[in-house]
């Protein structure tokens, strides 16, 4: 039985490192109205001294001065620190906060892979120290809550892995999937590429265009396979590809899965409904309905559609999330809620913005 020792009269204090990026800004939005968490400070590597709204006019009238990243100072103000930084930074910051006794929720990919060599092969950076990697708990909220609750470091999942793993989990954990020949064809809006301008995210190059990128080389592949392997020892490498959709937010993963047995769409939907019964953020679609990304826009939901294909004897699983929410800041706050013993959905149960 867990003790919710953190919730009392006061808000818990949190700091955000990397506050001016898309992940950081989304955290600010979520924390502003959170019933238990309060922003203690916002940090950035280069713009400190400026007001947050100067570069982010949607925050006009919000008064926060951006501060330098000094872990010792942050430790005095914050109970939890969110690291919303590019890969390569948390490798260095996470150990410092760990030593200082500040809980860390890391939105980057730095702490997700248990095997340092694996990290270095896919990320092309030096990995974090092994003890930090071992300490880090993979923050797939629906599947790891008992460990998240007592974690000191959370490795918040990537956007593609969240959509993919929530979609595949019932088939893998219940051993319906053979674990062979799984195809994940994933599509993402452009905000997943972050806020820094580049040729690949220049408006005129993306608009009225559909691209495939990082074919067979995306760094989220080992993250997905690591978790699939934990669920099912027989799982083999997946085919995984990533595409850029001319929109800002949203991810869809379309998945083609070979099963151990012949089944039906009804049976599959039943399975998913059972597995996700007590998980408010996973919404299994009814028969013949398939989700679109817009139906989760601005929310923490992961909507899943399911069909069994009689002709090919495979299941088609379609999973959608908002990449900045369930795929980043939303799940990070969900994990913070779990850590502090609050309702998992505290501050997160808004209706998606539609249209």
Residues identified as active-site? 159
Distance of alpha carbon 271 from the chain centroid: 24
CB of 105 vs a copy of itself, minimal distance in Å: 20
**Token couple for 286:** 């009814």
CB of 163 vs a copy of itself, minimal distance in Å: 12
* HSE-CB for 150 with a 13 A CA cutoff: 5
Phi-psi region of 208 (alpha: psi -120 to 50; beta: other; left: phi over 0): left
CB of 192 vs a copy of itself, minimal distance in Å: 9
Cβ(30)–Cβ(38) below 8 Å? no
Q: Which is nearer to a copy of itself, 139 or 222 (CB)?
A: 222
Which neighbouring-strand residues pair with 116?
Answer: none
Tell me the residue length of the chain: 355
CB of 30 vs a copy of itself, minimal distance in Å: 9
Q: Which is nearer to a copy of itself, 46 or 204 (CB)?
A: 204
Place of tokens 């959608």: 320
Distance in angstroms (rounded) separating the CA atoms of residues 224 and 218:
11
Sequence-distant (≥ 6) Cβ neighbours of residue 182 within 8 angstroms? 168, 235, 236, 238, 239, 255, 256, 257, 258
Which neighbouring-strand residues pair with 255?
Answer: 184, 317
Q: Which is nearer to a copy of itself, 206 or 339 (CB)?
A: 206
Q: Which is nearer to a copy of itself, 126 or 312 (CB)?
A: 312
Q: Which is nearer to a copy of itself, 41 or 191 (CB)?
A: 191
Distance in angstroms (rounded) separating the CA atoms of residues 74 and 144:
27
- The verdict on whether omega for the bond into residue 9 sits within 30 degrees of 0, i.e. cis, is no
Distance of alpha carbon 223 from the chain centroid: 12
CB of 116 vs a copy of itself, minimal distance in Å: 20
Q: Which is nearer to a copy of itself, 189 or 327 (CB)?
A: 189
Cβ(87)–Cβ(108) below 8 Å? yes
CB of 19 vs a copy of itself, minimal distance in Å: 13
**Token couple for 219:** 């760094």
Q: Which is nearer to a copy of itself, 6 or 122 (CB)?
A: 122
**Residue 77 neighbours by CB distance under 10 Å:** 15
Distance in angstroms (rounded) separating the CA atoms of residues 137 and 355:
36
CB of 262 vs a copy of itself, minimal distance in Å: 15
């Amino acid at each position: 039985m867990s003790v919710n020792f953190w919730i009392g009269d006061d808000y818990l204090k949190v700091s955000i490192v990397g506050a001016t990026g898309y992940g950081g800004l989304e955290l600010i939005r979520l924390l502003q109205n959170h019933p238990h968490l309060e922003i203690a400070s916002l940090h950035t590597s280069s713009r400190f001294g400026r007001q947050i709204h100067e570069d982010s006019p949607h925050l006009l009238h919000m008064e926060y001065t951006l501060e330098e990243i000094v872990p010792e100072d942050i430790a005095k103000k914050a109970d939890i620190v969110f690291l919303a930084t590019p890969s390569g930074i948390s490798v260095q910051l996470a150990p410092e906060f760990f030593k200082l006794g500040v809980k860390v929720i890391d939105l980057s990919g730095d702490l997700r892979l248990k095997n340092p060599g694996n990290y270095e092969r896919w990320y092309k950076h030096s990995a974090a120290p092994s003890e930090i990697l071992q300490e880090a708990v993979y923050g797939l909220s629906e599947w790891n809550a008992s460990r998240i609750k007592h974690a000191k470091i959370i490795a918040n999942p990537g956007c593609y892995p969240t959509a993919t793993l929530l979609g595949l989990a019932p088939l893998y954990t219940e051993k319906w999937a053979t674990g062979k020949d799984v195809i994940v064809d994933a599509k993402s809006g452009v905000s997943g590429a972050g806020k820094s301008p580049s040729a690949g995210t220049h408006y005129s190059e993306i608009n009225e265009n559909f691209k495939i990128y990082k074919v067979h080389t995306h760094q989220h592949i080992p993250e997905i396979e690591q978790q699939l392997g934990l669920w099912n020892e027989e799982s083999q490498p997946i085919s995984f590809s990533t595409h850029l959709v001319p929109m800002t937010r949203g991810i869809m993963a379309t998945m083609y899965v070979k099963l151990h047995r012949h089944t039906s769409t009804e049976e599959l939907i039943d399975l998913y409904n059972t597995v996700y019964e007590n998980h408010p953020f996973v919404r299994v679609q009814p028969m013949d309905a398939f989700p679109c990304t817009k139906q989760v826009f601005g929310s923490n939901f992961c909507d899943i559609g399911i069909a069994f294909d009689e002709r090919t004897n495979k299941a088609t699983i379609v999973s959608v999330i908002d990449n900045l929410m369930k795929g980043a800041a939303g799940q990070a706050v969900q994990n913070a809620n779990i850590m502090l013993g609050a309702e998992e959905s505290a501050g997160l149960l808004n209706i998606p913005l539609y249209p």
